[in-house]
C-alpha cells in the first residue's frame, strides 16, 4: 500500500499536519491500495494564504503566459495519462478501456481546449462611453467529487487559472489520486508558487475550513445537492460567490414515431455509464403508454448484455460501484421501489465473486410519484415511465427537483426541437447528439447554480468591471 503524507502548498510538497490517514479502496478487490494524510486547519490556512499572496502576480501575468502555463500542465498530464486511467478505474470502477478515454483523455484534452478558448475570449469591450473589463474573481476554493475526479477538477481549475484566479483544490477523499498526479503535473509545468494548491480531507472538516476561510473569494463545488446546500449556506455568511454543479434525475423523452430500439439502447448507455455514477445520466425513460411494455422488455434484454467484471478486463462493460455504502444505498432504493409497486424487467444476474457490484437493473410500472422516479440513485438503474400525451411527458420530465440534463427522441430532429425547448434542463440532447465540451454545462433548480465548460466555464471565474470615461476620450483627434 502506498502512503501519501504530503500536500502541494505554495509551490512545494509539505507534510500534512492532520492526524488522520484516509484509506482509498479498490472498488473491485475491496482492498485498500493507498492512503492520503489529511490536512489540518493550519494547512488549509497556509494554502489559502499562499493563494492570496500569489493572486496579484498571477492575475497581472499576461494572458499569453497563463495560456502557455496551462498548456504545459496539459502536456505533463498527458505523460501521466496511463497512470491516471488506471488509478481512477481502481477507485471508481469504470472499465479501463473507457477510463482511458473518458477519465483521462477527455479532461486532459480539455486543458488545451480551455487554453484555446481563453485566447478567443473578449476580455475588454466598449459599451457607449464605458470600457467593460473582465477581471478574475480572486482566490477560488475548488471542491470536487469522486465519480469523474480529473474531469471535474479540470472543469474548475483550468478555467480558473486562465481567468487569472489562484486556486486551492480539495478533491474527494474517495478518489483523490488523480488530483495528486495533477499536482505533479503542475510542478513539472513550473507554475508560480501559490497559484495552485492541493489539500486533502473530508468535507465537514477540511472542506468547511476552506469554504469559510475569509480570504477565499469564491467556492466552486460539484457533488450532492445536500452538500451543495450546506456549502451555499456557509459561503453566504461572507457573501462569497458560489458555483454549484449538483445532482440530476434526467429524462429521455421518446416521442411517437421515434426509433424506439435506438432510443432505448442509447438511454441505457447513458444510464449505465460509469455504473450509473454520473450526475447527468438519463435514468428515466419516458415512452408512449402503448409502447411501455415493449420498451421495458427491450431495455431488460439489453441490460442483461452489460457484462460485469474486473475493470481491467476488456470484456467488462459494467464495473463496480465506488463503495459498499453506495451499493447498499442503491439496493435500498430499488427494494423500496419494488415494495411500492414497481416491477423488474431484468432477471437475476450472477454477480462477480467480489467487488461493490450492483446488477444492471430496469424497472417498469413505475409512477412519477415514486421516489425511484424522483430521486438520484447513482447506480445502474433505469426506470420506464408511461405517458398519454406529449404535454404529460413534458410535465413528467420537468416534474422533479432537478434540471441538469435531458434527451428527446423523435422521427426527425425538427420534430424533437419544440419539445426540447420546453424542458427545464441545462442541456438537452436531440436524437443522440454527442456531448459538446464547448457548450455550457449546468442545471436548473436543485441541480445547481452557474455553468461550466467552454467559454462559459472561464467566464464563471470572471467579474465585469465598468470603466466610465468621458465621451471625448473616444473621439477621433
Tell whether 28 and 134 lie within a shared domain.
yes
Q: Is residue 73 part of a domain?
A: yes
Residue 46, pLDDT > 70, answer yes
- The enclosing domain of 113 has a CATH number of 3.40.605.10
Mean pLDDT to the nearest integer, 245-272: 98
Q: Residue 454 is inside which H or E element, if any?
A: helix 454-459
Distance, in Å, from the CA atom of 261 to the CA atom of 270, rounded to the nearest integer, reads 14
Going by pLDDT thresholds of 50, 70 and 90, the confidence category of residue 477 is: low
Q: Is residue 31 part of a domain?
A: yes
pLDDT of residue 164: 98
Mean pLDDT to the nearest integer, 9-13: 98
Nearest to 243 by CA among 149, 158, 141: 141
Distance, in Å, from the CA atom of 214 to the CA atom of 217, rounded to the nearest integer, reads 8
Sign of torsion, CA 410 411 413 417? Answer: negative
Cβ–Cβ under 8 Å, residues 285 and 258: no
- In eight-state DSSP terms, residue 318 is B
- In eight-state DSSP terms, residue 343 is E
Residue 335, pLDDT > 80, answer yes
Distance, in Å, from the CA atom of 349 to the CA atom of 367, rounded to the nearest integer, reads 25
Residue 476, pLDDT > 90, answer no
Give the residue numbers annotated as catalytic, written as ranges. 245, 279
Residue 338, pLDDT > 90, answer yes
Q: Is the pTM of this model over 0.85?
A: yes
CA 434 to chain centre: 17
Mean pLDDT to the nearest integer, 345-369: 94
pLDDT of residue 1: 85
Tell whether 365 and 461 lie within a shared domain.
no
Tell whether 300 and 219 lie within a shared domain.
no
Instruction: Show the domain range for 10.
Output: 2-246+447-466
The string of pLDDT tens digits covering residues 388-404 is: 999 999 999 999 999 99
- The enclosing domain of 378 has a CATH number of 3.40.309.10
Residue 349, pLDDT > 90, answer no
Distance, in Å, from the CA atom of 22 to the CA atom of 34, rounded to the nearest integer, reads 9
Mean pLDDT to the nearest integer, 266-282: 97
pLDDT of residue 370: 98
HSE (side-chain half, CA atoms, 13 Å) at 67 = 13
Q: Is residue 440 part of a domain?
A: no
The mean of the pLDDT values for the chain is 97
Tell whether 188 and 258 lie within a shared domain.
no
Q: Is residue 402 part of a domain?
A: yes
pLDDT of residue 431: 98
Q: Is residue 476 part of a domain?
A: no
Cα distances (angstroms) measured from residue 353 to each of 308, 309, 324: 11, 9, 14
Distance, in Å, from the CA atom of 15 to the CA atom of 10, rounded to the nearest integer, reads 13
HSE (side-chain half, CA atoms, 13 Å) at 229 = 6
Q: Is residue 184 part of a domain?
A: yes
Tell whether 156 and 263 lie within a shared domain.
no
Domains of the chain: total: 2
HSE (side-chain half, CA atoms, 13 Å) at 315 = 4
Nearest to 93 by CA among 352, 294, 355: 355
Going by pLDDT thresholds of 50, 70 and 90, the confidence category of residue 19 is: confident
3-state secondary structure of 306: coil
Q: Backbone phi, then psi, for 443, in 5-degree steps?
A: -140, 180
Q: Is residue 435 part of a domain?
A: no
Cβ–Cβ under 8 Å, residues 402 and 416: no
Nearest to 253 by CA among 429, 472, 396, 407: 407
Residue 225 has a CB neighbour count (10 Å cut-off) of 20
Percent of the chain with pLDDT over 70: 100
Start-end of H helices in 80-165: 81-92, 96-98, 106-120, 149-163
Tell whether 126 and 57 lie within a shared domain.
yes
Distance, in Å, from the CA atom of 242 to the CA atom of 391, rounded to the nearest integer, reads 35
Tell whether 53 and 190 lie within a shared domain.
yes
Tell whether 307 and 285 lie within a shared domain.
yes
Nearest to 407 by CA among 300, 257, 263: 263
Q: Residue 56 is inside which H or E element, if any?
A: helix 41-60
Residue 453's beta-bridge partner residues? Answer: none
Tell whether 213 and 297 lie within a shared domain.
no
The grid coordinates of residue 474 equal 473616444
Nearest to 268 by CA among 346, 323, 352: 346
Buried b (16+ CB within 10 A) or exposed e, 313-349: eeebbbbbbbbeebbebbeebbeebeeeebebbbeee
3-state secondary structure of 340: coil
Tell whether 100 and 148 lie within a shared domain.
yes
Q: Is residue 475 part of a domain?
A: no
Mean pLDDT to the nearest integer, 253-269: 98
Tell whether 282 and 370 lie within a shared domain.
yes
- In eight-state DSSP terms, residue 474 is G
Tell whether 413 and 459 lie within a shared domain.
no
Distance, in Å, from the CA atom of 308 to the CA atom of 360, rounded to the nearest integer, reads 9
Residue 350, pLDDT > 90, answer no
Amino acid at each position: 500500500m502506498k502512503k501519501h503524507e504530503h500536500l502541494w502548498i505554495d509551490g512545494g510538497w509539505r507534510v500534512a499536519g492532520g492526524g488522520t490517514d484516509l484509506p482509498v479502496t479498490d472498488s473491485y478487490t475491496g482492498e485498500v491500495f493507498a492512503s492520503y494524510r489529511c490536512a489540518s486547519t493550519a494547512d488549509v490556512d497556509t494554502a489559502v494564504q499562499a493563494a492570496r499572496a500569489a493572486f496579484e502576480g498571477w492575475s497581472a501575468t499576461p494572458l499569453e503566459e497563463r495560456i502557455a502555463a496551462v498548456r504545459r500542465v496539459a502536456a505533463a498530464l498527458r505523460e501521466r495519462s496511463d497512470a491516471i486511467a488506471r488509478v481512477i478505474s481502481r477507485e471508481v470502477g469504470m472499465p479501463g478501456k473507457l477510463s482511458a478515454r473518458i477519465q483521462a483523455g477527455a479532461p486532459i484534452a480539455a486543458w488545451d481546449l480551455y487554453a484555446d478558448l481563453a485566447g478567443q475570449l473578449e476580455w475588454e469591450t466598449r459599451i457607449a462611453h464605458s470600457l467593460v473589463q473582465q477581471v478574475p474573481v480572486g482566490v477560488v476554493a475548488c471542491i470536487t467529487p469522486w465519480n469523474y475526479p480529473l474531469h471535474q477538477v479540470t472543469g474548475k481549475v483550468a478555467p480558473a487559472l486562465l481567468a487569472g484566479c489562484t486556486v486551492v483544490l480539495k478533491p474527494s477523499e474517495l478518489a483523490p489520486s488523480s488530483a495528486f498526479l495533477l499536482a505533479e503535473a503542475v510542478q513539472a509545468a513550473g507554475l508560480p508558487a501559490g497559484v495552485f494548491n492541493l489539500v486533502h480531507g473530508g468535507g465537514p472538516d477540511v472542506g468547511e475550513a476552506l469554504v469559510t476561510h475569509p480570504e477565499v473569494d469564491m467556492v466552486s463545488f460539484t457533488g450532492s445537492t445536500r452538500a451543495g446546500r450546506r456549502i451555499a449556506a456557509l459561503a453566504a455568511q461572507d457573501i462569497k460567490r458560489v458555483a454549484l454543479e449538483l445532482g440530476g434525475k434526467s429524462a429521455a423523452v421518446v416521442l411517437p414515431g421515434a426509433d424506439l430500439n435506438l432510443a432505448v439502447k442509447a438511454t441505457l448507455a447513458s444510464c449505465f455509464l460509469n455504473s450509473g455514477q454520473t450526475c447527468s445520466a438519463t435514468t428515466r425513460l419516458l415512452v408512449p403508454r402503448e409502447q411501455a411494455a415493449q420498451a421495458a422488455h427491450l431495455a431488460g434484454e439489453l441490460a442483461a448484455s452489460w457484462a460485469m467484471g474486473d475493470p481491467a478486463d476488456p470484456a467488462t462493460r459494467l464495473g463496480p460501484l465506488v463503495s459498499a455504502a453506495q451499493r447498499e444505498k442503491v439496493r435500498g432504493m430499488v427494494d423500496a421501489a419494488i415494495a411500492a409497486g414497481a416491477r423488474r424487467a431484468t432477471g437475476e444476474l450472477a454477480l462477480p465473486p467480489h467487488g461493490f457490484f450492483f446488477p444492471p437493473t430496469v424497472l417498469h410500472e413505475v409512477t412519477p410519484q415514486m421516489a425511484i422516479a424522483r430521486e438520484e440513485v447513482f447506480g445502474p438503474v433505469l426506470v420506464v415511465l408511461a405517458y398519454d400525451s406529449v404535454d404529460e411527458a413534458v410535465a413528467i420530465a420537468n416534474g422533479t427537483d432537478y434540471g441538469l440534463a435531458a434527451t428527446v427522441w423523435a422521427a426527425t430532429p425538427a420534430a424533437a426541437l419544440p419539445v426540447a425547448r420546453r424542458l427545464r434542463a441545462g442541456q438537452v440532447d436531440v436524437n443522440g447528439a454527442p456531448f459538446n465540451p464547448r457548450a455550457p454545462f449546468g442545471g436548473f433548480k436543485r441541480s445547481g447554480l452557474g455553468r461550466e465548460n467552454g467559454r462559459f466555464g472561464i467566464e464563471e471565474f470572471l467579474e465585469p468591471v465598468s470603466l466610465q470615461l468621458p465621451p471625448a476620450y473616444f473621439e477621433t483627434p
